[in-house]
């Protein structure tokens, strides 16, 4: 069955490529999808992501909408008008929404089924109490109105059920990755051939969840180690770790990431284990395995299933111990090429979207059986 889907994203299309981008692209292969996304005014830190096969429509929000109530209300009014036009034109079977922040932008009435794809615990992000209360209320209304709630992790599903109820509406759809989204590359000279210098790499959004203290301790403990950070800085006010061997390379096109990491000795995910992070199923871990490098990550329950591929640490002392072992043993990864191949084959976005399509077919059948 080919469906008409109005897909509303909460991030710019050129932001670091993540779950909403991949979902929209893969749904567009088999369905008539229009993607509405917020246009980010600060574009210097963005990369231009692939637009092939995706019908994209940016919507513009006036700045400072979160700071000034009248600007926020004006943004809601303007987007509701835009959404109404697209609803009448596209006549979607499903409206796909990626954040309760956008639910107040929808018109009051529409006939399409509503799908909420929840990839993060929106209430765990730092914000003032009034804004958190508003988002909590919007999230409950959204879940009440939804036909289906997709969650990227089990912890996230459990939180939403505790807050809003309706356990029958939820389905866990983990994140994934797509090997074909990376371009081919020529292997760079490895860091170990550069006069004894070793490079740890991080790929992803740089935000408040980054454990800056851990990174500084690493470079202070190991004079031969550099850390290269690839990705946009979410907020210019975020304090970044300061050390000449911690290098921020900015955002790059998703297709070019593999070439950028080819000379790294290992990849790292140095997060603070906050309430927010405990619900995250990180796309970067799937991609790290594909890149075929040793992987180091902070440990939390949701990602224990990566234990065959990742060297975990629970505190800074364990992190330094893992790195000391890497330096002694020559940066050997803990997984085989065969295990990597099996993982790659079973964790693609194509497979995830095929599972989602089965759920959409169920909803469609229920509607037309009445």
Cα separation, 313 vs 48, whole angstroms: 34
pLDDT of residue 190: 39
pLDDT at 183 over 80: no
- Give me 329's structure tokens: 């043993």
Q: How far apart are CA 64 and CA 12, in angstroms?
A: 17
Does residue 219 register a pLDDT over 70? Answer: yes
Q: How many angstroms separate the most distant Cα atoms in the chain?
A: 71
First to last CA, the chain: 18
- C-alpha separations of 49 from 12, 17, 98, 253 in Å: 10, 7, 19, 6
Confidence band of 195 (pLDDT split at 50, 70, 90): low
Residue range 332-357: mean pLDDT, rounded: 94
Phi, psi dihedral angles at 243 (to 5 degrees): -165, 140
In this prediction, residues 252-277 reach a mean pLDDT of 92
* Distance in angstroms (rounded) separating the CA atoms of residues 287 and 177: 6
CATH superfamily of the domain spanning 4-176+348-369 = Glycogen Phosphorylase B; (3.40.50.2000)
At 158 the pLDDT is: 97
- Work out the average pLDDT over 257-269: 93
Q: Is the pLDDT of residue 196 over 80?
A: no
Element (H, E) at 354: helix 349-369
Tell me the C-alpha distance between 338 and 287, whole Å.
16
- What per-residue confidence (pLDDT) applies to 70? 82
Percent of the chain with pLDDT over 70: 95
Helix runs in 103-195, H state only = 129-145, 154-164
Q: Where are the domains of the chain?
A: 4-176+348-369, 179-346
Predicted local confidence at residue 312, as pLDDT: 98
Q: What is the pLDDT of residue 95?
A: 96
pLDDT of residue 278: 96
C-alpha distances out from residue 230 to 29, 55, 261, Å: 29, 28, 9
- Calculate the CA dihedral of residues 300, 302, 305, 310 and round it to 10 degrees: -40
Q: What is the pLDDT of residues 7-48, one digit of tens each?
A: 999 889 998 888 999 999 999 999 999 999 988 877 776 778
CATH code for the part of the protein at 179-346: 3.40.50.2000
Are 4-176+348-369 and 179-346 equal in CATH topology? yes
Mean per-residue pLDDT for 49-62?
Answer: 88
Where is pLDDT greater, at 68 or 233? Answer: 233
Residue 236's pLDDT is 67
Task: Tell me: pLDDT of 359 over 90.
Answer: yes
Residue 189 has pLDDT above 60, yes or no: no
pLDDT in tens, 111-142: 899 999 999 999 998 778 888 898 899 999 99
- Segment 304-327, tens digit of pLDDT: 999 999 999 999 999 999 999 999
The whole-number pLDDT of residue 186 equals: 41
């Amino acid at each position: 069955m080919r469906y008409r889907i109005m897909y509303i994203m909460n991030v710019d299309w050129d932001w670091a490529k993540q779950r909403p981008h991949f979902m929209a692209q893969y749904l567009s292969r088999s369905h008539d999808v229009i993607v509405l996304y917020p246009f980010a005014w600060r574009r210097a830190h963005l990369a231009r992501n692939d637009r092939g096969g995706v019908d994209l429509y940016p919507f513009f929000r006036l700045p400072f909408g979160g700071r000034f109530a009248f600007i926020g209300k004006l943004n809601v009014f303007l987007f509701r008008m835009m959404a109404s036009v697209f609803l009448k034109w596209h006549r979607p079977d499903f409206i796909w929404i990626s954040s309760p922040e956008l639910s107040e932008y929808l018109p009051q009435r529409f006939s399409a089924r509503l799908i909420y794809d929840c990839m993060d615990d929106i209430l765990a992000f730092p914000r003032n109490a009034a804004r958190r209360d508003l988002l909590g209320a919007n999230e409950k209304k959204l879940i009440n109105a939804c036909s289906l709630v997709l969650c990227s992790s089990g912890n996230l599903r459990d939180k939403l059920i505790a807050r809003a109820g309706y356990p029958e509406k939820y389905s866990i759809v983990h994140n994934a990755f797509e090997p074909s989204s990376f371009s081919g590359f020529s292997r760079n000279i490895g860091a170990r051939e550069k006069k004894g210098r070793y490079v740890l790499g991080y790929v992803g959004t740089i935000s408040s969840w980054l454990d800056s203290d851990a990174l500084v301790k690493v470079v202070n403990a190991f004079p031969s180690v550099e850390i290269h950070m690839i990705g946009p800085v979410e907020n210019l006010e975020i304090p970044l770790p300061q050390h000449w061997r911690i290098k921020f390379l900015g955002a790059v096109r998703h297709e070019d990431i593999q070439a950028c990491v080819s000379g790294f000795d290992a990849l790292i995910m140095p997060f603070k284990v906050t309430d927010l992070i405990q619900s995250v199923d990180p796309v970067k871990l799937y991609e790290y395995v594909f890149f075929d490098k040793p992987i180091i990550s902070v440990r939390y329950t949701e990602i224990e299933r990566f234990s065959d591929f990742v060297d975990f640490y629970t505190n800074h002392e364990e992190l330094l111990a893992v790195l000391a072992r890497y330096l002694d043993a020559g940066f050997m990864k803990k997984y085989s090429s065969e295990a990597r191949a099996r993982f790659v084959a079973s964790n693609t976005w194509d497979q995830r979207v095929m599972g989602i399509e089965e759920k959409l077919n169920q909803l469609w059948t229920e509607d037309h059986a009445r």
